[in-house]
Amino acid sequence: MAKSAVRIKDIAAKANVSVGTVDRVLHNRGRVSEDVRQKVLLMMQELDYEPNMIARALGSNRTYELAVLQPDHTLDPYWQAPWNGLEKAARELKQYGVHVTIHSYNLTEVDSFLKQAEAATLSQPDGILIAPLFYRESLAFFERWQQQGIPYVLFNTYIAELQSLSYVGQDSYQSGFLAGKLVHFGQSQPGTFVIAHIAEDIANSVHISQKERGFRDYFAQLAPAPDGPPPPPFNIISIDLPQPTDPAFARQLNRLLDDEHTHLKGIFVSTSKAYEIAPYLQANHREDIRLVGYDLLEKNIHFLNENVIDFLINQNPKKQGYWGISALADLLVFKKKVPALKYLPLDIITKENLQYYVDK
Amino acid sequence: MAKSAVRIKDIAAKANVSVGTVDRVLHNRGRVSEDVRQKVLLMMQELDYEPNMIARALGSNRTYELAVLQPDHTLDPYWQAPWNGLEKAARELKQYGVHVTIHSYNLTEVDSFLKQAEAATLSQPDGILIAPLFYRESLAFFERWQQQGIPYVLFNTYIAELQSLSYVGQDSYQSGFLAGKLVHFGQSQPGTFVIAHIAEDIANSVHISQKERGFRDYFAQLAPAPDGPPPPPFNIISIDLPQPTDPAFARQLNRLLDDEHTHLKGIFVSTSKAYEIAPYLQANHREDIRLVGYDLLEKNIHFLNENVIDFLINQNPKKQGYWGISALADLLVFKKKVPALKYLPLDIITKENLQYYVDK
DNA sequence: TTGTACGCGTTATCAA
DNA sequence: TTGATAACGCGTACAA
């Protein structure tokens, strides 16, 4: 027995009022006496009324303007995927009156961010989705949005922020922890594991340092096997590399690879740029050194297929965009509760299961 | 500029006909002169008309009855997940007039399947989703459904079948291949890898033998590294185990574990029953033997957390149910093209990323 | 062969 | 504080 179709009309009849009255209590628009209100509320409960969202979308001709702030996907390949996710969500929600405008900023220029954020704010949207790569500058806008009563969702980059509706993205700490497992797995001889940061301002980048903490914690918790032998002494070091175009990049990397008594077992690249390290391993025939990185960029995929990169951790960038928009839509059009935190899966990608994760 | 809202009314006006006429050509119901038809078609193209599915669902009060044939989820824990997926899809599509009825059969009794399949057929549904675990018996029903013009979708168990609308599920061959990678990864010493079938009628089960083929092919393709050293000689054997309650189960397993010169490196369990093998490894402190299996059952998760199971391959059973129903809905209510094959991702699950895949 | 008018469940306006 | 009633875009009898 599918509890089929209890309509506003039904509860109106049962409560001896008109549909207009029911509608008023349903959306507490006021202008209805308290006793009638209670009666209607009761009837709604009794009949277990569920609004027909389809009819609602059709009837109320209202539209919802959503503004998105994210780095320009034509300047950095990583941001293509979130962009695809946004577009997909936009397409699906179009019929519900949802319209999304993407404000792209240049991820290397603060001014660009400020300008776009300003534009987004002035457009008076009904909701905002933001990848807050500029920490400090974002905070000021959060304040403004909150005062204006505009709900906003953070994605991709976590900022501890109590006022935002939700954060959609990855758990950086756990992804570092997982990376530890992946570089270590199956290696029992003592040696060194490296976490490599490429051209990152670590001090100003919360999620990078969380990744490092997770990575180190993985090896730390390896210790206390109660009955087994103690784990071999692993040496965990982190290196900061400059831009790959900088000659110092090759110099530092080669020094690391050439140092015989380091016993280098694996490298974890804390960003999506594992493909910058891979050529050096390949050139020196050091495919035995485990290499783990992030994201299914074309260049990463290339080295995964060449067995130079062993694992990629997929942060599900497309879904980040998709669910970010969905969260806003859930709040605004479907009036659903939105969880404050939505961690996306950390997919482990190898050559053998890659095909299922690349966007066709 | 969002190409906002071109309605039937608009194209009717532009073509100097009534909405009724437009509707007739839209659904080619005939009864419209060819020249008018062409003109309307042209206008539709020019205006890039997209039907408003929401209004359509509301206007046409038609409902769609979907029948599902799958093993009883109260008798086998694996089937809980697909069931959840079905329910989720049903909930989302309810407002579009989609109603799904689940016909559960006992996966150990052919008669039960026949009875439920008969019932489903007689209910004259608008579409059928079936997990065809009984190969031969399913074929007869396919024939009937095809003759009755009822679209049907296969899920979970692949059967080469040209008439079905779609197959939604995993790629068994590739999952065996992946399992090969996972048991082998990081192990360079020669030794033996085992693929274990637990209480399976392999001859009658296509996907189990596909898994085995994939598994063996993984090791076969390891060979020809053009410049590197030849791969170590791996020995791949398969064993058929009886029901775990059968004393022969323990006997065979212990014989395998005790045989010193087998140099057993890893075991791949071809079904979701890795948890039946795990206790033996644990009891004998043979956690060094790699163990890989399928699916996030509670018992498997337990041994994953205990480091006895190293990897689980997630076949995404919940999504199988979800996308199975979605495929039917896409065809029937949204009139969309449905791909003949939808392979779900083969997620690699470890202790460290498990949390993101368990159904909360 | 074509056009008209009503209904789907909801919202929103306006008069009572 | 209430109740009619016209939209919303589409499907569909039924009339012409």
Strands A347-349 and B98-105: unpaired
What 3-state class would DSSP assign to B29? coil
Whether the pLDDT of residue A224 is over 90: the answer is: no
Judging contacts by C-beta atoms under 8 Å, the chain A residues touching residue B173 are none
Question: Are B350 and A58 an interchain contact pair (Cβ–Cβ within 8 Å)?
Answer: no
- Average pLDDT of the segment spanning A116-136: 95
Higher pLDDT, A160 or A164: A164
- Average pLDDT of the segment spanning A119-132: 97
Residue A166 and residue A152: Cα distance in Å, rounded?
A: 8
CA A126 to C1' C16 (Å) is: 35
Residue A43 and residue B318: Cα distance in Å, rounded?
A: 36
Q: Residue at minimal CA–C1' distance from C2?
A: B21
The residue of A96, A181, A352 whose CB has the most chain B CBs within 10 angstroms, and thus the best one to mutate to test that interface, is A352
Q: Which of A68-82, A203-217, B145-159 has the lowest mean pLDDT?
A: A203-217
Query: Strand C: which nucleotides have any atom within 7 A of a protein Cβ?
Result: 1-5, 7-14
Place B181 in a pLDDT band, splitting at 50, 70 and 90: very high
Nearest to B54 among A58, A178, A185 (CB): A58
The minimum CA-CA distance between A248 and chain B, rounded to whole Å, is 31
By CA distance, what is A176's nearest residue in B? Answer: B352
pLDDT one-digit tens code per residue, B111-167: 999 999 999 999 999 999 999 998 889 999 999 999 999 999 999 998 888 899 999
Judging contacts by C-beta atoms under 8 Å, the chain B residues touching residue A193 are none
Q: By percentage, how much of chain A surpasses pLDDT 90?
A: 82
pLDDT one-digit tens code per residue, B301-357: 999 999 999 999 999 999 999 999 999 999 999 999 999 999 999 999 999 999 999
Beta strands in B199-340 (DSSP E): 234-241, 264-269, 290-294, 311-314
- How much is the mean pLDDT over chain A? 92
Q: Nearest nt (C1') to A56 (CA)? A: C10
Spell out the domains of chain B, with CATH numbers in brackets.
Answer: 8-51 (1.10.260.40), 64-169+317-344 (3.40.50.2300), 172-223+231-314 (3.40.50.2300)
pLDDT one-digit tens code per residue, B232-267: 789 999 999 999 999 999 999 999 998 877 889 999
Judging contacts by C-beta atoms under 8 Å, the chain A residues touching residue B355 are 174
User: What is the predicted pLDDT for the residue at B229?
Assistant: 57
pLDDT one-digit tens code per residue, A272-303: 999 999 999 999 999 889 999 999 999 999 99
User: What is the predicted pLDDT for the residue at B230?
Assistant: 61
Question: Are A95 and B54 an interchain contact pair (Cβ–Cβ within 8 Å)?
Answer: yes
By CA distance, what is A358's nearest residue in B? Answer: B345
Judging contacts by C-beta atoms under 8 Å, the chain A residues touching residue B94 are 2
Amino acid identity, residue A143? Answer: E
Whether the pLDDT of residue A223 is over 70: the answer is: no
User: What is the predicted pLDDT for the residue at A303?
Assistant: 98
Strands A166-169 and B290-294: unpaired
User: What is the predicted pLDDT for the residue at A189?
Assistant: 87
- Average pLDDT of the segment spanning B168-183: 97
Residue A100 and residue A79: Cα distance in Å, rounded?
A: 17
User: What is the predicted pLDDT for the residue at B3?
Assistant: 47
- Average pLDDT of the segment spanning B173-192: 94
Question: Are A344 and B353 an interchain contact pair (Cβ–Cβ within 8 Å)?
Answer: no
- Average pLDDT of the segment spanning A321-344: 96
pTM for the model: 0.92
User: What is the predicted pLDDT for the residue at B222?
Assistant: 86
User: What is the predicted pLDDT for the residue at B1?
Assistant: 35
Q: Residue at minimal CA–C1' distance from D3?
A: A18
CA A293 to C1' C8 (Å) is: 53
Beta strands in chain B (DSSP E): 64-71, 98-105, 127-130, 152-155, 166-169, 191-198, 234-241, 264-269, 290-294, 311-314, 341-343, 347-349
pLDDT one-digit tens code per residue, B40-80: 999 999 999 999 999 999 998 889 999 999 999 999 888 99
Judging contacts by C-beta atoms under 8 Å, the chain A residues touching residue B65 are none
- Does B62 contact strand D, using a CB cutoff of 7 Å? yes
Residue B129 and residue B83: Cα distance in Å, rounded?
A: 12
Question: Are A348 and B346 an interchain contact pair (Cβ–Cβ within 8 Å)?
Answer: no
User: What is the predicted pLDDT for the residue at B226?
Assistant: 56
Contact between A316 and A291 under an 8 Å Cβ cutoff? The reply is: no
Which of B256, B175, B265, B190 lies closest to B222, judged by CA? B190
